[in-house]
Chain A
């Protein structure tokens, strides 16, 4: 079911740069500086994306005041993908029940 936190997750994931940052963090934690080089973005731009990801609970940041390494948080992503699977499954289940109902209606209609 859609919740406010899922809204934040999907909104954070709607940006390709943020998805790419998550892909990098899936390989291991990294500092802002370590993210600046591969993405060819300024440090403030990277920091802005990290803030959105952190607010959505998709990453957490270390306490080291100098480096504050970022790491990926798996749970919100798991909830997001789970909900999407549920959406498709819901329609498939609904339509299978509709198939059954239509068979019944057809049989009733064809009776003399």
Chain B
């Protein structure tokens, strides 16, 4: 891995993912917002494939992606762009569904691209409607729960301390 992924929970309702890329900002922006480029890297879990990718990347526009696995299972992500300022900022809603059933609650995603000479820093902030929703959706990444099951005893012991 060339650049480390950073995952943090700065407030009770947020999760922040930060990652740098060795490319100019316009290219990173295009790779996220042009469907023909996005589908080449945002391909989902191993064995899955992005089968639908639509993105009207302007303020008020909608987007939708569908992933399928070889057994015919599908998962989708969709939402509405609240604010789009190429090539630096996008605020949009996002909800995941599988077989028509929502997975967790709708989130507000803010994507910011910062220029660092020839490099670009991507910051994605996912805002949930409550701490409970966040903790029920993607919890404890930085609090040690992401460690493997073999470390479970250790984690539980530190939670008790």
A residues within 8 Å of B by Cβ?
Answer: 1-2, 7, 10-11, 13-14, 16, 19-20, 22-24, 26, 74, 77-78, 80-82, 84-88, 90-103, 105-106, 109
Contact = CB atoms under 8 A, between A and B. Distances in A.
Nearest to B42: A94
Interface of B: 1-3, 5, 7, 17, 19, 21-24, 27-28, 30-31, 37, 40-46, 75, 96, 98, 103-104, 131-132, 135-141, 145-149, 152-153, 156-157, 159-160
Given A1-B98, A88-B141, A77 B31 contact: no
30 contacts: A10-B135, A10-B137, A10-B139, A11-B136, A13-B135, A13-B145, A14-B135, A14-B136, A16-B159, A19-B160, A26-B152, A81-B152, A84-B141, A85-B146, A85-B147, A92-B1, A93-B46, A94-B43, A95-B19, A97-B41, A98-B28, A100-B41, A101-B37, A102-B23, A102-B27, A105-B30, A105-B37, A106-B23, A106-B24, A109-B27
Contacts of B98: 1
